[in-house]
């Protein structure tokens, strides 16, 4: 899913009143209603009327290249600062396509695969948000977990996997469990990294944290209104390595309105959750209850 203005709360996706927002597109799919609103120079994809629960993706109409949502800088920082430039990337959840579009510019030689369950989201991303596929960037219209299982069977490996799939309320529960994260982990190359977008205010916060820790061990925890988890099974880089990577990508990220140095203070491994919270599993993942 996706989010809010670059310096504004994102998990407060309880969007500001949108009385002035203009509905420019609406279509129903098997999964949801996909809506596009415009207001105050922004165009946003939402899954609820007047974006009352959240904004999936936004762009500035005057400068679509610049990131409009805060979580994107954390996700890209988490991926780019923690290891060598990835050559193959998997993104679970397309939204408006801001992250794959940015990665195409930043990593022009990379193979980028996007798993998106809803063809309506793909259509809207193409028509209203400037998303374009190319020979090395493709959308696979499948549930993210189904795609991961098929990728395991095919033997494919990824240098980076970004988990950014949301429905109209939160992350689908089958994409939160220990079993799913273990499957994701098995797709990584030896130096591969997983970056997961979640909410810092979610009632699932403790459970998500213990689940990631159970699968990956110590991870980076980046927080604004959203929370981004960065895990690397081979071990996390030290501060000097993070700073060197940030400097490497500083110039290109600035073209998206991102100050790479401002992301660095967000990297922390200090637990701020109940370490005894129950791990989410395929047998125990009552996200619809815990997150209300």
Domain boundaries defined on the chain: 70-286
**pLDDT tens digits for the chain (292 residues)?**
444 333 333 333 333 444 578 999 999 999 989 999 999 999 999 988 877 766 789 999 999 999 988 889 999 999 999 999 999 999 999 999 999 999 999 999 999 999 999 999 999 999 999 999 999 999 999 999 999 999 999 999 999 999 999 887 789 999 999 999 999 999 999 999 999 999 888 889 999 999 999 999 999 999 988 999 999 999 999 999 999 999 999 999 999 999 999 999 999 999 999 999 999 999 997 765 555 5
pTM of the shown model? 0.90
Cβ neighbors of 158 (< 8 A, separation 6 or more) are 86, 88, 89, 90, 113, 151, 187, 188, 189, 192
- What positions carry a catalytic annotation? 164
70-286 falls under which CATH superfamily?
Vaccinia Virus protein VP39 (3.40.50.150)
For the purposes of burial, counting CB atoms within 10 Å of the CB of 190, is it exposed (0-12), middle (13-18) or buried (19 or more)?
A: exposed
Q: Which residues, listed in sequence order, are joined to residue 230 by a DSSP beta bridge? A: 195, 220
CA distance 222 to 153: 32
């Amino acid at each position: 899913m996706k989010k809010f203005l670059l310096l504004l709360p994102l998990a407060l996706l309880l969007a500001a009143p949108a009385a002035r927002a203009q509905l420019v597109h609406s279509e129903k799919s098997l999964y949801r209603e996909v809506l596009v609103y415009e207001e105050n120079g922004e165009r946003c994809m939402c899954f609820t009327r007047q974006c009352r629960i959240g904004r999936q993706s936004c762009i500035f109409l005057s400068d679509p290249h610049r990131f409009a949502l805060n979580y994107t800088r954390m996700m890209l920082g988490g991926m780019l600062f923690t290891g060598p430039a990835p050559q193959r990337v998997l993104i679970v959840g397309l939204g408006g396509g801001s992250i794959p579009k940015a990665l195409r510019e930043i990593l022009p030689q990379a193979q980028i695969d996007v798993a998106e369950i809803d063809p309506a989201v793909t259509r809207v991303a193409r028509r209203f948000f400037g998303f374009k596929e190319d020979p090395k960037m493709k959308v696979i219209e499948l549930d993210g977990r189904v795609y991961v299982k098929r990728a395991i069977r095919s033997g494919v490996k990824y240098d980076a996997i970004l988990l950014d799939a949301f429905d109209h309320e939160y992350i689908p529960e089958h994409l939160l469990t220990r079993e799913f994260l273990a499957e994701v982990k098995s797709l990584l190359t030896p130096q591969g990294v997983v970056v997961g977008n979640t909410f810092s205010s979610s009632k699932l916060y403790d459970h998500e944290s213990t689940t990631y820790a159970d699968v990956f061990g110590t991870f980076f925890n980046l927080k604004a209104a959203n929370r981004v988890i960065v895990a690397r099974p081979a071990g996390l880089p030290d501060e000097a390595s993070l700073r060197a990577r940030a400097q490497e990508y500083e110039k290109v990220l600035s073209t998206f309105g991102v100050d790479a140095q401002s992301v660095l203070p967000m990297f922390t491994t200090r637990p701020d959750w109940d370490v005894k919270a129950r791990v989410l599993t395929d047998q125990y993942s009552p996200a619809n209850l815990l997150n209300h």
